[in-house]
Amino acid sequence: MASADEISAYTVRHAGQIREVVNRNALVSRLVLQGYNVYLPVYDAGIDFVLHREIDDTLLKVQLKSRWTIDRKYLGRDLWIAFADTNVGDWYLMPHDEMVDLGTRMGFTDQASWTEKGLYHRGPLSQAMRKICEPYRLPDDAIAMTEADQE
């Protein structure tokens, strides 16, 4: 049996991977309640999972992020970014290239992280960004379960 110190050291060493698994599971729960099947690719290549909803034949290639993120390597690939608003715990599923357009309008693509590295991310969404991203917010699990229970 591992000691508390060994478990703590393991958790610290693998914190990023653990956070990704926790985030993916939290997100998958919401997506299933929205009628999606979630498929994990054998080879990542920039796609963390594929969503398919049979009722309207929606097919989305998704990259999972822990926060609002744009990355030059995702441009023009028809990818959707799943990200959390760390301030309130909401999840969003938004087309990456629309996020880049939003980043351009808000001046994010003028920042050195974008111009030099091709990457920009931010933690909690501002009120203005939350309003713009609202159409892409996924319903809360509890809300979705209540609605599903009523059907």
For residue range 76-86, what is the model confidence (pLDDT) as tens digits? Answer: 999 999 999 97
| Full set of structural domains in the chain with CATH | 4-146 (3.40.1350)
Work out whether strand 79-85 and strand 58-64 pair parallel, antiparallel, or are unpaired.
parallel
Q: Model confidence over 8-24: pLDDT tens digits?
A: 777 777 777 777 788 88
Global pTM value: 0.83
What are the DSSP E strand ranges found in the chain? 37-39, 49-53, 58-64, 68-71, 79-85, 90-95, 119-122
